[in-house]
């Protein structure tokens, strides 16, 4: 994400823990504590006298009120309880186990066993149909042993987990037993049609303050690489959302759910004007799968993909910086059978432009296994059309395969020292030193990387295997030296790198000595 620096900041999931973040409070408790309680919506709207401001602003003056009346009855608070192991004794944390409390092996051990304690938490959710199904976040109910939902009319019911999906941080729960009358499902909107600057409203129970309504706009779309969940493309909003809002809806001015509030971007842990919501179009597909089977089945193409940087686009002869660069193809997988190759750039899926690597991953994941898709790829300066049959994704098995990259003697002479690295041929000794298996037949091994050199800037590491340079096969250190020499000083070199079985592309520019 351009312009974003996440490292020094905090991502907060909007889930209030009674033992960690805040004490849950009911409306009555908040009032008794001298804190302002959120005002309840009147049972019936009262006549409003015409005022100067009403004449000035017209229908806009009541637009948020109208949406709130429509949406609030569909929103619930979700409280949970679970049993956790109590933290370690502070004395033992700093000074270690009691030296006189020896175990069977004679080693010191703690005299006091870890005790169990109950932990409570509070989040939000919203009713999706009259059968009692409720959509919320996975982190709101994860590990829950007891779940209670409270409706807007203050009726409370026990609930059970229907299914959870950790990669997307979504979950579906359902009211237990006889389904109560009067449930008001919230309608789904179309998150793909949202525009930046469009008004939205967040509804939930932050800090246990039920029926809280805040307003803002869509600040950005397609936020990725946030670290919140595997499948991103988050909506960004400045509507105020805080711990306890997790799982609550983000709605448009038609009162339709367009997102599920999930996290905030903050230096303090509190609201600072940047919140993230899961697009409802993604959530709807996952919700339907969870209701149907209790789990989510995702599509799999069998490629390792990475973003197309300006340097890589230039090296490949691609005019526009778009699409997803194929760094590796899983042997025997759907992409391999379809004819995809390393270095291809996937430009379109089913006739629609592929924005970047995350866009392709998210869209493939939503395609049912067994479906055949049309792909448009850029290869050797030309576009080609391919067809691939999507397979079922095994999250654990293919996580490494699709993770992509981060982005003898040393070779001398003409000369890769200008890249700030040294490399050598694949000898038996080098294989033993860097634990390289016999399945790696070609390439040269990076044996040293100067932390201030261009190779380090490109993300290369010791033990990496350079398979290609400027789209030419590298079988020896001499091949690499010749390619670098031919490129000339200051010319970017496009490397295909194998790192622990995963290949990816990287760019480095030789520096003058």
Range from 11-20, 317-326, 357-366, 394-403 carrying the lowest mean pLDDT: 11-20
In this predicted structure, the answer to whether residue 1 has a pLDDT above a threshold of 50 is no
Condensed to tens digits (0 to 9), the pLDDT of residues 262-314 reads 887 765 556 678 889 999 998 998 999 999 999 888 899 999 888 888 888 88
1/10 Cα distance (integer angstroms): 16
Residues above pLDDT 70, as percent of the chain? 74
In this predicted structure, the answer to whether residue 23 has a pLDDT above a threshold of 50 is no
Span 391-411, mean pLDDT? Answer: 52
- Cross-strand pairs, 190: none
Range from 3-7, 64-68, 430-434, 471-475 carrying the lowest mean pLDDT: 3-7
Helices and strands (H, E) in the chain, number of each type: 13, 28
Condensed to tens digits (0 to 9), the pLDDT of residues 128-167 reads 999 999 999 999 998 889 999 999 999 999 999 999 998 8
H or E element that contains 292: helix 280-293
pTM, 2 dp: 0.63
Condensed to tens digits (0 to 9), the pLDDT of residues 322-350 reads 899 998 888 899 999 999 999 999 999 99
In this predicted structure, the answer to whether residue 20 has a pLDDT above a threshold of 80 is no
Structure tokens, 447: 């044996």
Structure tokens, 117: 């304690």
Residue 87: what pLDDT?
52
> Hey, which residues are catalytic here?
139, 169, 246
For tokens 């392709």, the residue is 360
97 Cβ contact list (under 8 Å, min separation 6): 108, 109, 110
147/169 Cα distance (integer angstroms): 17
DSSP 108: B
Residue 89: what pLDDT?
55
Mean residue pLDDT across the chain: 79
Q: How many CB atoms sit inside 10 A of residue 64's CB?
A: 15
Residue 297: what pLDDT?
86
202/216 Cα distance (integer angstroms): 8
Residue 405: what pLDDT?
40
Residue 254: what pLDDT?
94
In this predicted structure, the answer to whether residue 34 has a pLDDT above a threshold of 50 is no
Residue 236: what pLDDT?
92
How confident is residue 407, by pLDDT bands cut at 50, 70 and 90?
very low
In this predicted structure, the answer to whether residue 490 has a pLDDT above a threshold of 80 is no
């Amino acid at each position: 994400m351009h312009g974003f620096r996440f490292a020094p900041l905090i991502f907060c999931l909007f889930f209030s823990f009674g033992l960690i973040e805040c004490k849950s409070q009911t409306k009555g408790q908040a009032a008794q504590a001298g804190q302002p309680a959120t005002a309840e919506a009147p049972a019936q709207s009262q006549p409003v006298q015409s005022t100067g401001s009403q004449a000035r602003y017209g229908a806009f003056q009541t637009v948020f009120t109208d949406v709130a009346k429509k949406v609030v009855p569909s929103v619930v608070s979700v409280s949970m309880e679970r049993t956790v192991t109590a933290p370690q004794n502070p004395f033992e944390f700093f000074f270690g186990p009691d030296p006189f409390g020896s175990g069977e092996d004679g080693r010191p051990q703690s005299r006091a066993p870890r005790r169990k304690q109950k932990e409570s938490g509070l989040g939000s959710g919203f009713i999706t149909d009259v059968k009692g199904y409720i959509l919320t976040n996975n982190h709101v109910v994860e590990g829950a042993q007891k779940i209670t939902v409270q409706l807007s009319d203050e009726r409370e019911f026990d609930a059970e987990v229907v299914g959870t999906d950790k990669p997307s941080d979504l979950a579906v729960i359902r009211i237990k037993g006889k389904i109560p009358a009067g449930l008001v499902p919230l309608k789904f909107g179309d998150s793909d049609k949202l525009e930046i600057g469009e008004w939205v409203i967040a509804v939930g129970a932050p800090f246990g303050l039920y029926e809280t309504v805040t307003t803002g706009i869509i600040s950005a779309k397609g936020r990725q690489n946030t670290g919140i969940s595997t499948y991103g493309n988050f909506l960004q909003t400045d509507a105020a959302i805080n711990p306890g809002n997790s799982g609550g809806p983000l709605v448009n001015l038609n009162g339709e759910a367009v997102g599920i509030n999930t996290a905030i971007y903050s230096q303090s842990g509190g609201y600072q004007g940047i919140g993230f919501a899961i697009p409802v179009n993604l959530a709807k597909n996952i919700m339907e799968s969870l209701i149907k089977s209790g789990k989510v089945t995702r599509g799999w193409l069998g490629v390792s993909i990475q973003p197309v940087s300006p340097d890589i686009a230039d090296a490949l002869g691609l005019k526009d910086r778009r699409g997803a660069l194929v760094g590796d193809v899983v042997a025997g997988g759907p992409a391999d059978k379809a004819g995809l190759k390393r270095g291809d750039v996937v430009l379109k899926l089913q006739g629609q432009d592929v924005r970047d690597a995350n866009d392709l991953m998210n869209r493939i994941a939503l395609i049912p296994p067994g479906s055949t898709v049309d792909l448009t790829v850029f290869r050797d300066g030309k576009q080609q059309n391919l067809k691939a049959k999507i397979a079922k994704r095994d999250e654990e098995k293919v996580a490494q395969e699709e993770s992509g990259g981060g982005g003898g003697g040393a070779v001398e002479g003409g000369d890769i020292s200008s890249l700030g690295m040294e490399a050598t041929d694949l000898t038996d000794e080098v294989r033993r030193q860097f634990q390289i298996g016999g399945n790696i037949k070609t390439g040269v091994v990076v044996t040293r990387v100067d932390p201030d050199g261009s190779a380090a800037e490109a993300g290369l590491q010791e033990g990496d295997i350079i398979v290609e340079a400027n789209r030419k096969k590298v079988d020896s250190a001499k091949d690499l030296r010749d390619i670098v020499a031919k490129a000339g000083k200051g010319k970017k070199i496009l490397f295909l790198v194998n790192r622990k079985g995963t290949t990816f592309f990287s760019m480095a520019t030789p520096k003058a000595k």
